[in-house]
A and B are shown apart, each in its own frame.
Chain A
Amino acid sequence: MKKNALLAGTALAAATAFAGGEARAANLTLCWAAWDPANALVELSKDFEAQSGHSMSFEFVPWPNFADRMLNELNSRGKLCDLMIGDSQWIGLGAEAGHYVKMNDFFDANGIDMGDFIPATVAGYAEWPKGTPNYWALPAYADVVGWTYRRDWFERPELQAEYKEKYGRDLRVPETQAELKDIAEFFQGREIDGTTVYGAAIYTERGSEGITMGVTNALYNYGFLYENPEKPYDMEGFVNSPGAVEGLEFYKALYDCCTPPGSSDWYMSETIDAFKSGQAALQMNFAFIWPGVNADPNVGGDRSGYFPNPAGPAGQFAQLGGQGISVVSYSDNQDAALEYIKWFAQPEVQQRWWDMGGAPALQAVVDAPGFAESQPYAQAFLDSMAIVKDFWAEPTYAELLLAMQNRVHRYVIAGEGTAQEALDALVRDWTEVFEDDGKL
């Protein structure tokens, strides 16, 4: 009898402890890059804290060190991050190395349908292998490279007249890459309001991913393909096709003719600074900066406009940015982390995400009547998201990226060799990476 009472008591205590453990409030840590949208997410997440009883901590790392820091965290199986808003290219590594929790069962159980999200973001941020319904993240922040321009300069009658006389067309948002270069050339070194201004602030950064995220916007539109669509990892004649060579030459010509002096190592923050300080007529950057530009006292409001990456001879594409949110498999708080994802996927939360400066990937939000007019940049965002392409998302993406950074920077910035030689060398580098990885 005594023994039975003891067993019952133990079972009750264990059950209570277990139930208590499930209901216990967790302290979740969300890891992301240190940038404006992250600050908006901190505000947005306060609702989650109030609703769930869980508390949130945030670990934000500046972009140039983001991949280094966070991939080290994942590779060392660290428990710092419960939720990771990792870059789109990490998805292959996250899935294959077991860093991320697979989401399919969770999505099914909670009625989260990937068909409700912008297809490009699902493919870019959530799927691995690409093209298969295996999901490792929820699309969290839709982003894409686009352009900002000084609308107030474009609208000046004297500049319009001079441009028309010189180029035979109106000074307006460029529709092609060639027009973009003409406009950049037109503004380069021009005196406006007593200040020397320059054509275009573009990505040239060497250390992390900058120049790759920039040059691909020219390469895609001139015919560059990562691989033979019929034969995976067959790159000869696709990466270094005549069109790709022309695209690379175009980017170098744009850098040589029309960028501010000293812009040989510029990425997001430097191009923003150049544009906001009134140095550049055009700025290449991810769309995440558009709310900040719009609100800027110097260049915001009607003084700036936004447009998607212009078309080239082979079509119109833009480099995909953005990230999905994943649950880290080494986390001790996976249930609470999944709770956060369930909360984040709700349409009303996604709408608030947009209102607060985030970029939702939920189709219902971006398709809602009035979305395109809700912000001056909303239409450009929609147009840009419709033309995205992304870099390799293979587990070896870091090696593939570093090789491209090296080859492209050497040609575009340092002027070493020819575009053909640079892309031929890139094919060799990438082939070696895939051979080492057993893919070839």
Chain B
Amino acid sequence: MPETAMDRAASATPPGIARRVRGLSDRAIAWLFVAPTIFLLLAINIFPLIWTIRLSFTNFRANRPNADVEWVGLRNYQRILSDPEIWQTMQATAHFLFWTLFFQVLIGFALAWLINAKFRSSNFWTTVIVLPMMLSPAVVGNFWTFLYQPQIGLFNYVVAFVSGADPTSFSMIGDVPLAPWAIVIVDTWMWTPFVMLICLAGLRSIPESIYEAAECDRASKWRQFWTITVPMVLPFLMLAVLFRGIENFKMFDLVVQLTGGGPGSTTELTSINLKREAFEKWRTGYASAYAVILFVTVFGLASIYVKALNKVKER
């Protein structure tokens, strides 16, 4: 009988280990390998989650470990869900989420379409376009605060040049109507390249033969786009939306650097609000309930979305 790879591996196993492993079933060996991962998963993910759920029913404060901890039942959940300010942060998050996804998908797909045309120096432009996403969000937030400065900011000067308005007459991060758009613009600038790359991968995965067949059937470019390109890129696009949606739901650093949640609480997203409750006010029990609500929301929405994504892929 010829020697298999498994036989070779078995013969290469040091005799000490072989002696110890001998007698263990395949299932036991499998468990042996998987156990460390399961242990880490339980310790780092599952246990904190269960602990958070438990804390969410108490008035525990992490900065007063010696204080009595009371079981408060659903009071934290009731307070959160009936607090108009929490709903305001939810609205701010929804606004940010919707418009960043909208612009990033639109512009990202358009850029991918252009880059896919393989014009001269397209590789160079691809590199230039993806540069923003290589920067740290804290750095991006910091330098955009300068770009948005009414007196010295390039952004205001460009807008003033185009519109004829006085550059000091508006403040992107200080004016209530403009601030939500200020954070949308910066996030779109930074993360559109990510969507573009995923779309580009989708576009390049479409076999050329499908387009050739369509050409033979005299399908117009417009029809080819809607009946070949869009359906075949759609799973990729949906994946990009999933990644960006999850990322932007927990957006923190960029917005803190840009606006600090202001003016007032206009750009205070849920993650910023949650951080204030948990690590500035130290209302750990309340913040745990808040985190559980957000977790259930994201988990629920993501599950529905992944199901939809799978259906699209199956088509």
Contact = CB atoms under 8 A, between A and B. Distances in A.
Given A262-B174, A264-B175, A406-B264, 18 more contacts: A75-B63, A93-B63, A261-B150, A262-B150, A262-B151, A264-B174, A265-B260, A279-B151, A399-B283, A406-B265, A409-B264, A409-B265, A410-B265, A413-B174, A413-B262, A414-B263, A414-B265, A436-B283
Contacts of B218: none
Interface in B168-188: 168-169, 171, 173-176
A263 B174 contact: yes
B279 A264 contact: no
A409 B276 contact: no
18 contacts: A205-B260, A206-B259, A207-B262, A262-B171, A265-B259, A265-B260, A395-B64, A398-B280, A399-B282, A402-B281, A406-B265, A409-B262, A409-B264, A413-B174, A414-B262, A414-B265, A436-B59, A436-B283
Interface string B241-263: 00000000000000010011111
Interface string A116-137: 0000000000000000000000
B260 A207 contact: yes
A395 B259 CA distance: 28
B307 to A, nearest CB: 39
Contact of A207 (B171, B173, B174, B256): B256
A402 B280 contact: yes
Contact of B62 (A75, A98, A398, A411): A75
A237 to B, nearest CB: 24
A206 B282 contact: no
Interface string B149-176: 1110100000000000000110101111
Given A402-B280, A415-B176, A261 B168 contact: yes
- Indicate the member of B149, B176, B263, B279 with the most A CB atoms within 10 Å: B263
Interface of B: 59, 62-64, 66, 148-151, 153, 168-169, 171, 173-176, 256, 259-266, 276, 279-283
Interface string A369-410: 000000000000000000000000001001100100010011
A416 interface: yes
Contacts, number: 87
A57 interface: no
B260 A413 contact: no
A416 B153 CA distance: 27
Interface string A317-351: 00000000000000000000000000000000000
Given A207-B256, A261-B151, A409 B263 contact: yes
Nearest to A75: B63
A355 interface: no
A440 interface: no
Given A262-B150, A262-B171, A68 B260 contact: no
A264 B63 contact: no
A205 B150 CA distance: 17
A261 B280 CA distance: 30
B261 A206 contact: yes
B43 to A, nearest CB: 20
Contact of B279 (A68, A260, A265, A413): A68
A97 interface: yes
Nearest to B258: A265
B174 A398 contact: no
Contacts of B59: 436
B281 A264 contact: no
A351 to B, nearest CB: 38
Contacts of A261: 150-151, 168-169, 171
A175 to B, nearest CB: 31
A406 B276 CA distance: 11
A414 B260 CA distance: 13
A416 B262 CA distance: 12
A18 to B, nearest CB: 32
Contacts of B256: 207
A398 B280 CA distance: 6
Contacts of A414: 176, 262-266
A93 B259 CA distance: 29
A410 B264 contact: yes
Interface of A: 68, 71-72, 75, 93, 97-98, 205-207, 260-265, 279, 395, 398-399, 402, 406, 409-411, 413-416, 436
A340 B174 CA distance: 45
A399 B281 contact: yes
Given A261-B168, A414-B176, A71 B262 contact: no
Contacts of B168: 261-262
A113 B261 CA distance: 45
A93 B42 CA distance: 35
Contacts of A263: 174
A415 to B, nearest CB: 7
Contact of B262 (A98, A206, A260, A436): A206
B181 to A, nearest CB: 15
Nearest to B286: A436
A85 B132 CA distance: 40
A261 B174 CA distance: 9
Contact of B263 (A68, A93, A398, A413): A413
Contacts of A264: 171, 173-175, 262-263
Contacts of B148: 262
Nearest to A77: B65
The residue among A93, A98, A207 with the most chain B CB atoms within 10 A of its own CB is A207
A93 B261 CA distance: 26
Contacts of B265: 406, 409-410, 414
Nearest to A416: B264
B174 A68 contact: no
Contacts of B171: 261-262, 264
What are the 7 tightest A-B residue pairs by CB atom distance, in nearest-first order? A414-B264, A264-B174, A410-B264, A207-B260, A206-B262, A261-B150, A262-B150
A84 B229 CA distance: 63
A75 B282 CA distance: 10
Contact of B282 (A262, A398, A409): A398
A402 B287 CA distance: 15
A432 B171 CA distance: 35
B109 to A, nearest CB: 34
B154 to A, nearest CB: 13
A414 B148 CA distance: 17
B263 A260 contact: no
A206 B276 CA distance: 12
Nearest to A207: B260
B119 to A, nearest CB: 40
A265 B141 CA distance: 14
A93 B175 CA distance: 36
A264 B148 CA distance: 12
Contacts of A415: 176
